[in-house]
Amino acid sequence: MPEVLVRARGLTKQFGGFTAVDGIDFDLYRGEAFGFLGPNGAGKSSTMRMIGCVSPPSGGQLTILDSDPVRDGPAIRARLGVVPQEDTLDVELTVRENLLVYGRYFGLPKKVIRERADALLEFVQLTDRAHDKVEPLSGGMKRRLTIARSLINEPDILLLDEPSTGLDPQARHVVWDRLYGLKQRGVTLILTTHYMDEAEQLCDRLVVMDHATIVAAGTPRELIETYSTPEVLELRFTPDCHEQGAGKLRDLYPERIEATADRVMLYVSDGDEALKRVRGLGLEPSSSFARRSTLEDVFLHLTGRRLID
Amino acid sequence: MTIRALAYWLTVYKRTWRASIWSSFLGPLLYLGAMGFGLGSLVNAHGTAQLGGVTYLQFVGPAILAVQAMQTGIMESTYPVFGSVKWNKTYYAAQATPLTPAGIFRGHLLFNAARITMNSAVYLIVMWAFGAARSPWVILGLPAATLLGLAFAAPTAAWAMTLKSEASFNYLFRFGMIPLMLFSATFFPLSRLPGWLRLVAYATPLWHGVALCRGLSLGTLTAGSAVIHVGYLAILAGIGVWAGGVTYRRRLYV
């Protein structure tokens, strides 16, 4: 059994009368990439702040690196790396200076900090910007610098709160590439995200949070197997046939159908076979598309399609 | 922890000192020139018995030392503190490391103290060069001004951490800093004020700072009044340090 780095039992966080995290249980093992998935306001960031020892739990048990986060906060934080949701870089300093001052916060010798800073800048591909100010850097560069900064103390656990939110697709892929590289090196990652592709690419195990609780847990594959079907058949009808078509299909697949304004989705084991049966009912969709189930299907199934602001 | 947080501010200052140097040194010099020489020539022509027989420059010079220490202390604890939690969020970056809220606070305060000392030292040199100091005791104006600055900086930083918006700073400047500067025996002796207002002035920290700096510069400070002034300012600074520990923790550890 691998070593447990974080253990939560009945972990709760309240702000006044509002419950942000409502009695969640989870274990984090050394070397894995563990994800918290959930819509905005589900309690992911509050959980991350408690793990980061910058927010005291309101109830339940939380053990991090065999220590109590309330009593031993500074000692635990010395062994964590944190990539916050919003950049907290000092934009008036240079790229390299940001790493140097951050290393000093950990009380590391200057020589060690300088060596690590240079290696980390290489790792996040910012060596040629080392002596530039942070302010004009792109969002992706700032995020990579934040990742480099979080590694200056060679942390046992790296916490990433929505690491690629707000980045363009190219920048996101570079960030994922770097995080994947860290995973290969054996760094333990905890991340929150609402991007399903990010979760599928990076996470060995994940939990889905909604309304302050954990509603599902497992590997991406397990979650898809448990909460979705192997395939999804997406159908579009011409507008005048949409209602009628959806109605008929509901008789055919009463449990496994989801109709949105412009599409009907059938959750099935075999998409091609299902399409034949649809045609057998005398329905002719204007377009059809059979695909494998993804985490997004799981996510929408578990947390609903309502809009969360 | 405090030293690690201080190291950050020193690194930032290495980058930004050029921009701050003019405002922090030049402002007090302009006051000294305008008040000490400009207004002073008028005052001196009418006799300075009410000032204790010293020239107006010698009267007002040490008071401006105290005023600039107060201004530096307040300014460095308003926008830089608020911005660290609201704009560039560097306090949050520090809080994710072994630093504690109290360490972050004290490191920043220590940096502010260094700024107050530096500004005061430069001002003291100019003051001495202009002949505004009468006694060698004026050298003790440096720690006195630093203590005075801290007596303002610590409570201001503690308060700044409780704010949601920076608009409140204007109240402090307009209704706190400016009236204190005008009515703390800075530009005229308190004997010119009506009795009740004099009592108010005695209770304010800047008056104690002005009295301390002036007493040192003129060489008229008695041990008894020195203890009262220093004690008052030290207690105020102490309360500010305690309060900052509380408000920083409330803001950064929730």
For A84, what's the count of Cα atoms within 13 Å in the CB-facing half-sphere? Answer: 19
Name the domain count of chain B. Answer: 1
Q: Are residues A206 and A237 in the same domain?
A: no
Q: Are residues A125 and A238 in the same domain?
A: no
Interface probe with B: pick from A46, A50, A90, most Cβ of B within 10 Å: A90
pLDDT band at A309 (very low <50, low <70, confident <90, very high): very low
Between CA A232 and CA A272 the distance in angstroms is 10
* More confident position, A198 or B107: B107
Name the domain count of chain A. Answer: 2
Q: How are the residues of chain A apportioned to helix, strand and coil, as percentages rounded to the nearest 5?
A: 40, 30, 35
Q: Which residue of B has its CA nearest to A80?
A: B97
Residues in chain B: 254
Asked if pLDDT for residue A255 goes beyond 70, the answer is no
Nearest to B105 by CA among B171, B209, B235, B6: B6
Q: Are residues A85 and A195 in the same domain?
A: yes
In a domain, A31, yes or no: yes
Closest CB from A73, A90, A107 relative to B4: A107
Contact A54 B99 (CB under 8 A): no
Q: Are residues A61 and A106 in the same domain?
A: yes
pLDDT of residue A307: 52
Average pLDDT over residues A70-96: 95
SS3 A192: strand
Q: Are residues A184 and A237 in the same domain?
A: no
Whole-number average pLDDT of chain B = 93
B93 touches chain A (CB under 8 A): yes
Structural domain span for residue A258: 229-292
Single residue among A218, A237, A255 that ends a domain in this structure? A218
The interface predicted TM-score (ipTM) is 0.89
pLDDT of residue B197: 87
pLDDT band at A247 (very low <50, low <70, confident <90, very high): confident
pLDDT band at A254 (very low <50, low <70, confident <90, very high): low
pLDDT tens readout for residues B185-228:
999 998 888 888 888 889 999 999 999 999 999 999 999 999 99
Average pLDDT over residues B46-56: 86
Asked if pLDDT for residue A306 goes beyond 60, the answer is no
In a domain, A107, yes or no: yes
Asked if pLDDT for residue B106 goes beyond 60, the answer is yes
Q: What CATH code is carried by the domain that includes residue A283?
A: 3.30.70
* More confident position, A114 or B32: A114
* More confident position, A273 or A239: A273
DSSP track, B149-196: HHHHHHHHHHHHTT-S-TTHHHHHIIIIIHHHHHHSSSSS-GGGS-HH
Contact A117, A100 (CB under 8 A): yes
Contact B96 A97 (CB under 8 A): no
Closest CB from B15, B94, B253 relative to A105: B94
Q: Is the model's pTM score more than 0.80?
A: yes
Q: Which residue of A has its CA nearest to B250?
A: A55
Q: List CB contacts (< 8 A) between B98 and chain A.
A: 74-75, 77-78, 105-107
Query: How are strands ordered across the β-sheet holding A157-161?
Result: A80-83, A157-161, A188-193, A33-37, A205-210, A213-218
pLDDT of residue B25: 75
pLDDT tens readout for residues B131-184:
999 999 999 999 999 999 999 999 999 999 999 999 999 999 999 999 999 999
Asked if pLDDT for residue A4 goes beyond 70, the answer is yes
Q: Residues A2-38, buried b or exposed e (16+ Cβ, 10 A)?
A: eeebbebeebbbeeeeebbbbebebebeeebbbbbbb
Q: Are residues A74 and A185 in the same domain?
A: yes
Percent of chain A predicted with pLDDT > 70: 97
Average pLDDT over residues A211-232: 92
Single-letter amino acid, residue A206: L
Contact A130, A94 (CB under 8 A): yes
Average pLDDT over residues B32-61: 88
